[in-house]
């Protein structure tokens, strides 16, 4: 098996750490992130003909830090 380039290994580790950090967020924070994902994905999906609606949250605050 090829040895991973140290820089690639570092990036993969950082990505894993970020995913676990996201998993540990409070539920309400995660829901706000889901809405952010919806906002990103909706134009692509609509362009493909899939009608999707982004949730209207009453408590949508910036959460990405």
Which residues of this chain interact with other proteins, rule CB under 8 A? 19-20, 22-23, 25, 27-28, 30-31, 33-34, 37-38, 41, 52-53, 55-59
Angle at 56 between CA 55 and CA 59, to 5 degrees: 115
- Rank residues 7 and 23 by Cβ distance to other proteins and give the closer one: 23
CB of 5 to other proteins, least distance (A): 24
User: Is residue 56 helix, strand or coil?
Assistant: coil
Closest C-alpha among 43, 36, 40, 26 to residue 57: 36
Specify the residue, 11 or 37, whose C-beta has the smaller distance to other proteins.
Answer: 37
């Amino acid at each position: 098996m090829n040895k991973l380039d140290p820089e690639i290994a570092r990036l993969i580790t950082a990505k894993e750490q970020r995913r676990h950090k996201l998993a540990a967020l409070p539920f309400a924070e995660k829901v706000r992130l889901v809405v952010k994902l919806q906002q990103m994905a909706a134009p692509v999906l609509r362009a493909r003909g899939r009608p999707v609606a982004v949730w209207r949250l009453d408590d949508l605050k910036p959460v990405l830090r």
